[in-house]
Amino acid sequence: MRYETVIGLEVHTELATKSKIFCGCATKFGGAPNTQVCPVCSGMPGTLPVLNRAVVDCAIRAGLALNCEITRNNKFDRKNYFYPDLPKAYQVSQLYAPICTDGWLEVAAEDGGTKRVSIREIHMEEDAGKLVHDDWEDASLADYNRCGTALLEIVTQPDFRAASEVVDYIEKLKAILEYTGVSDCKMQEGSLRADINLSVRPVGAKELGTRTEMKNINSLRAIARAIEAETARQIELIEDGGRVVQETRRWDDSAGESCSMRAKEDAQDYRYFPEPDLPPIEITDAQIAEIRASLPELPQAKRRRYMEELGLPEYDTGILTGSVYLMRLFEETCAACGDPKEAANWIMGEVLGQLKLTQTLPENMIFAPASLGKLILLLRGNVINRGTAKKVFQKVFAENVDPEQYVKEHNLALMTDGGAIRSALEGVLAANEKSVNEYRGGKAQAFQYLIGQGMRALRGQAPAQEVTRLLKELLDD
């Protein structure tokens, strides 16, 4: 029998706000444990939360960029659960009136076309703390720095049919959240993590199969692997006459398999109720219009423009707009050198090459974006040749050197003195009489040899065109 995989996603993204959702503690990643904690986010009795205005703005921005309806009357709810990562023993979230509903995002479908993935809702909530397990003490250690960081949970309908669609969705979602400044989406720091709801059913079946949930997967590679493995596990189970149990499973990426965390029998009972400590939030049409007007050009529109106005290939535009950091580099390079095609070629070639070689993510590039434009200008002005430009770029990429200064300091500029080139070439001809005679006797290859000798004598520092022209002139005299 042939099966179809049905996947729905819940993506949690930490917002790029400076302070937490209900208190003034900093949200900066990587602080010493429990240094960004106060009575509110550590759940001390008698404290009152006050909502961070920027969280509402971020949620509306994300919602508008994802084609959602914005809820005018917002409320918060309490989700009760007992776990040491959450000192209050409840998470403030939105169950009954999420801030955004009924959106969509267009993704590349498995069959080669495109499809719209429906976004059921986006709600605001607070993150939990982080637990590390201490085997020596046989205990768990809690750090509440992340506790109370603002999150958006973006929930789709079960519209995905393949891992590739999920990966494309997350890449596009990440780009949109970065462009709109909602989140920095650093997956390796956990600021974007996905829960995967997955079931299988025979192709053509109307009803959904029983689904399992895999939580907090934080790399695209792990997400794709988890989907493949869980699909195979469920199909094998059904083929062997078994039944899929509705449960939460933990994906172990190093082992390449998932294991059961808790079965439905003891499913969590969250006892949601309206949060009494936070008054409702009313959003006006004017506020929505103002935020809509402030949205930047989004990845898809930008991509279309790059293709139509700049004439760039479709594949390149996907890469260039897929990361806000590459997009900014591209636009600044264009502005500096006025040559979008050359800028795109450099990014697609040298920049991606260096990123791959050094295992660097675009957000961690250190060089001044204007440097690439300067380098292209040096190349186009024949100040340096392409080989030198590539070598200088490696220095720019690794050490953020200024290309103009670097070329000057290291004497890499091409010779511009025609007289000096001519005299060097005369020396070459005098030393290679045999080849000169062969060339004059009609042997064309001899010319290539002489050019090679000439470039060598000039240590590659003369413009190739100029060397060819002068050599011809001398030989044909």
Partner 1 sequence: MTIDRDLVLYLESLGRIRLTEEERAACETDLRSIIGYFDQLGALDTEGVEPLSHAFPVTNVMREDVILRSMDPGDILANAPREKDGYFMVHRVME
Q: Report the interface residues with partner 1, using CB under 8 A.
A: 17-19, 23-26, 32-39, 42, 50-56, 75, 80, 82-84, 131-134, 137-144, 250, 261, 269, 271, 274, 276, 278-282
Minimal distance, residue 297 CB to partner 1, in Å: 25
Q: Name which of 34 and 423 has its Cβ closer to partner 1.
A: 34
Q: How far is the CB of 56 from partner 1 (least distance, A)?
A: 7
Exposed e or buried b for every residue in 326-365, given b needs 16+ CB within 10 A? Answer: bbebbbbbbebbebbebbbebbbebbebbbeeeeeebeeb
Residue 257 CB, shortest distance to partner 1, in Å, is: 16
Rank residues 69 and 277 by Cβ distance to partner 1 and give the closer one.
Answer: 277
User: What token pair was written down for 274?
Assistant: 């309206």
Closest to partner 1 by CB, 27 vs 354, is 27
Q: Do 369 and 332 meet the contact criterion of CB atoms below 8 Å apart?
A: yes
The pair of three-digit structure tokens given for residue 120, joined into one six-digit string:
């059921």
- Name the residue nearer to partner 1 (CB basis): 126 or 168: 126
Half-sphere exposure of 462 (CA within 13 A, CB side): 26
Q: How far is the CB of 132 from partner 1 (least distance, A)?
A: 7
C-beta closer to partner 1: residue 56 or 392: 56
Cβ nearer to partner 1, comparing 35 with 416: 35
Tell the smallest beta-carbon distance from residue 288 to partner 1 (Å). Answer: 14
Instruction: Tell me if 310 sits within 8 A of 335, measured CB to CB.
Output: no
CB of 211 to partner 1, least distance (A): 21
Nearer to partner 1, 131 or 431 (CB): 131
Termini Cα distance of the chain: 81
Q: Which is nearer to partner 1, 35 or 358 (CB)?
A: 35
**Cβ atoms of 421 and 457 closer than 8 Å:** no
To partner 1, the closest distance from the beta carbon of 279 in angstroms equals 4
Give CA separation, 467 vs 19, 347, 431, in Å.
62, 30, 17
- Shortest spacing between CB 78 and partner 1, in angstroms: 11
Query: What's the CA gap between 282 and 407, in Å, rounded?
Result: 59
Distance CA 417, CA 247 (A): 76
How far is it, in rounded angstroms, from Cα 138 to Cα 455? 69
Q: What is the DSSP letter of 19?
A: B
Structure tokens at 267: 């499913």
What is the distance between the alpha carbons of residues 136 and 10, in angstroms, rounded to a whole number?
A: 35
- Is residue 91 classed as helix, strand or coil in its secondary structure? strand
